Chains A and B, each alone.
Chain A
Amino acid sequence: MEILVCVKKVPDPAENEIAVRRDGSDIDRDDLVYSVNEWDNYAVEEAIQLVEEHGGSVTVVSVGDEESDEIIRRELAMGADAGKLLDDEAFHYSDGRGVAAILAHAARQAQYDLILTGAQAEDAAAQVGGMLAAMLDLPYASLVVRVEVKEGDKLEIAREIDGGNLEINEIDLPCALSIQTGINEPRYVGIRGIRKTASVEVPVLGAAELGLDPGTVGRAGAKVRKLDYFVPELGQGAEILQGSREEIADQLIARLRGRGVIQ
């Protein structure tokens, strides 16, 4: 099975407090720690496991800047076979549709049986997978938490819906799926593993190499534009307890006692 996995570099939510730059033009990116989007990492692991069981290869592709090369290498270290970086000035400020169009052009360069994306990214809108599938006219399912290969070029997949219920579907290959967290346990890769991929060539493809009209993507093609970032006015908000750790604990106990939680 030939599998394409779309991945993205994002500020790691577990490592960062996200703040807005004073002029509102962007989040404050100084000192941010980046990592691969959590959902995408599950998608890569799933692809690797499918290939381990059924043969084939995993290609990882990212629309990003130079620094996304690092993310691709991280996924190569996990066990992906090849990586491609889609980078061009013309791609900057693409909306979701623009990103999907860029990926669709990359996907058309080879015959993939399965295309995986993460269900969403911390800094985006849970849209690229579904758009990409529609552009390529592939059957699609989102929020997938189980994939099984069936006879006759089909998959049986489980989508996780409300309340943790599972919706079981059959889907024809080739198809595109967006992966929900928890589908597997992504393998750990260390810095040394990533270094070992240094000799692997990760080609950088721009609009020309992808045969893409630059005017249809990037800022020029975007119908949805980000105007600014802001932190919404807090409502009433919590009463933040003040004092030493002990004093705060005592105050909290008093509040809980007031609620009858502690006798």
Chain B
Amino acid sequence: MAPQVFVYVAHRGGQAADPALELLSAARVLSPNGPVIAVAAGHGAGLDQVCRDMAGRCLEVWKLSNEALAYPNAEAIRKCVTGVLPSGAVLLLAHDTLGMDLGPGLSIKLDSPFVSDVVAMDPPQDGVLKLVREEYGGQVSTHLSCDISGGAVLSIRSGAFPASEETAVGEVRDKSPDIGDLSCGRRFIKIVGAEAGDVDITKEEILVSVGRGIEDEDNIEIAEDLAKALGGVVSCSRPIVDAKWLEKPRQVGTSGKTVKPKVYLALGISGSFQHLGGLKGNPFIVAVNKNPKAPIFQVADVGVVDDLLEFVPLLTEIIDNH
């Protein structure tokens, strides 16, 4: 029997977040012909709008409206979803900052297995699902099996499944009366916007980006020299900001800036999905990495397998001498 499949639809400003349609595609792997139910929690007109939109995509939308859900506080969402889902439900959510907050605890409260950051899966056989995850920043992958016969919570990597193109004439069912007490020990206060920096890397056409492979703060100069020679600016991966070698506004990635340069030079960057998530607009990517198996080479156009500390100064010198 196909499991009862639900997708959790995160939303903002009356619009479903991008992964919603990808989650619907992923749900189709689990339930090729059966119904998929979208679940949206929130409060007010924005929630109503999202529910109406999702009803154009799947046959059933469960609306969970409550003042305590006006901001997506995972603690409150967890209580509310646990309260309304039937036993044996398989719930898909996005592996993002909300999904990471919500998924693991939810699986415990639903007494279901949890698999995070799923990049692929095969249709279930006899209640057992075979999935693919990555480890070590994408250097290797694993196959996992998960018994979903009693339900499951799965978080899905953004971009791993295509956006669903299905349309439907669905129905919004207001499940709000079934929501119990949502008071919890964590309360949302406010959002503080990311700081602005001296340069705006989102507007640059040439980015010379450094990662942990730069090894030392003093070596950042190597990238600055190349950037100067090319007329670009220096950006970086998260560990460089964590180490306080460059300012946060220079960070490319899901928790940094989304950039759309014409040319992106990735120096000593392994190519994690959180980093690549900030790279848009199909730039020409040059990767310099001493590990020939670094995942960055899968997305780069041109690769140089070398020690960047040797190669980059030489490159800069040749460009300068032209």
Most B Cβ at <10 Å: residue of A160, A165, A248:
A248
Q: How many residues of A sit at the interface, in one of the four size bands? A: 35 or more
- Give the complex CA separation of A222 and B115 in angstroms: 12
- A181 close to B239 (CB less than 8 A): yes
Please name all residues of chain A whose beta carbon is closer than 8 Å to the beta carbon of B293 when the two chains form the complex. Answer: 17, 19, 231
- A162 close to B97 (CB less than 8 A): yes
Select which of B113, B242, B306 is within 8 A of A248 by beta carbon. Answer: B306
CB of A232 to closest CB in B, whole Å: 5
Q: Which of A1-34 contact B (CB under 8 A)?
A: 11, 13-14, 17-20, 27
Please name all residues of chain B whose beta carbon is closer than 8 Å to the beta carbon of A250 when the two chains form the complex. Answer: 318
CB of B150 to closest CB in A, whole Å: 8
- B318 close to A262 (CB less than 8 A): no
- Give the complex CA separation of A17 and B213 in angstroms: 13
- Give the complex CA separation of A123 and B133 in angstroms: 10
Please name all residues of chain A whose beta carbon is closer than 8 Å to the beta carbon of B304 when the two chains form the complex. Answer: 240-241, 248, 252
Most A Cβ at <10 Å: residue of B108, B212, B241, B301:
B108
Residue of A nearest to B143 (CB): A227
Per-position contact with B for A215-231: 1 when CB-CB < 8 Å, else 0?
Answer: 00000000111111111
- A142 close to B263 (CB less than 8 A): no
- A17 close to B291 (CB less than 8 A): yes
Given known A170-B189, A171-B186, contact A185–B302 (CB-CB < 8 A)? no
- Give the complex CA separation of A169 and B190 in angstroms: 7
Please name all residues of chain B whose beta carbon is closer than 8 Å to the beta carbon of A252 when the two chains form the complex. Answer: 286, 302, 304, 315
- B140 close to A27 (CB less than 8 A): yes
Most A Cβ at <10 Å: residue of B140, B187, B303:
B140
- A256 close to B230 (CB less than 8 A): yes
Q: Does A96 contact B (CB under 8 A)?
A: yes
Please name all residues of chain A whose beta carbon is closer than 8 Å to the beta carbon of B299 when the two chains form the complex. Answer: 238
- A133 close to B318 (CB less than 8 A): no
CB of B128 to closest CB in A, whole Å: 10
Residue of B nearest to A136 (CB): B108
Residue of B nearest to A20 (CB): B140
Of the candidate stretches B24-32, B52-60, B169-177, B250-258, the one touching chain A is: B250-258
- B96 close to A162 (CB less than 8 A): yes
CB of B112 to closest CB in A, whole Å: 8
Q: Does B1 contact A (CB under 8 A)?
A: no
Given known A164-B256, A165-B194, A170-B186, contact A125–B115 (CB-CB < 8 A)? yes
- A224 close to B114 (CB less than 8 A): yes
Select which of A96, A120, A165, A229 is within 8 A of B141 by beta carbon. Answer: A229
Of the candidate stretches B42-50, B61-69, B84-92, B98-106, the one touching chain A is: B98-106
Given known A135-B108, A245-B311, contact A96–B140 (CB-CB < 8 A)? no
Please name all residues of chain A whose beta carbon is closer than 8 Å to the beta carbon of B189 when the two chains form the complex. Answer: 156, 168-170
Most B Cβ at <10 Å: residue of A119, A131, A156, A224:
A224
Please name all residues of chain B whose beta carbon is closer than 8 Å to the beta carbon of A241 when the two chains form the complex. Answer: 302-304
Select which of A13, A156, A259 is within 8 A of B137 by beta carbon. Answer: A13
Q: Does B203 contact A (CB under 8 A)?
A: no
Please name all residues of chain B whose beta carbon is closer than 8 Å to the beta carbon of A198 when the two chains form the complex. Answer: none
- B97 close to A97 (CB less than 8 A): no
Select which of A96, A130, A238 is within 8 A of B303 by beta carbon. Answer: A238
Per-position contact with B for A227-263: 1 when CB-CB < 8 Å, else 0?
Answer: 1111110110111110001101110110110010110
- Give the complex CA separation of A224 and B248 in angstroms: 37
Most A Cβ at <10 Å: residue of B109, B230, B302:
B302
- Give the complex CA separation of A20 and B141 in angstroms: 9
Residue of B nearest to A16 (CB): B136
Per-position contact with B for A121-138: 1 when CB-CB < 8 Å, else 0?
Answer: 011111111110111001
- Give the complex CA separation of A230 and B248 in angstroms: 35
- A160 close to B255 (CB less than 8 A): yes
Residue of B nearest to A235 (CB): B298
- B104 close to A223 (CB less than 8 A): no
Q: Does A141 contact B (CB under 8 A)?
A: yes
CB of A114 to closest CB in B, whole Å: 13
- A134 close to B105 (CB less than 8 A): yes
- A239 close to B303 (CB less than 8 A): yes
CB of A225 to closest CB in B, whole Å: 5
Select which of A122, A128, A141, A229 is within 8 A of B104 by beta carbon. Answer: A128
The 4 residue pairs across chains A and B that have the minimum distance between CB atoms: A130-B104, A139-B185, A238-B303, A134-B105
8 contacts between A and B (CB under 8 A): A125-B114, A125-B115, A127-B104, A139-B185, A166-B191, A168-B189, A241-B304, A262-B230
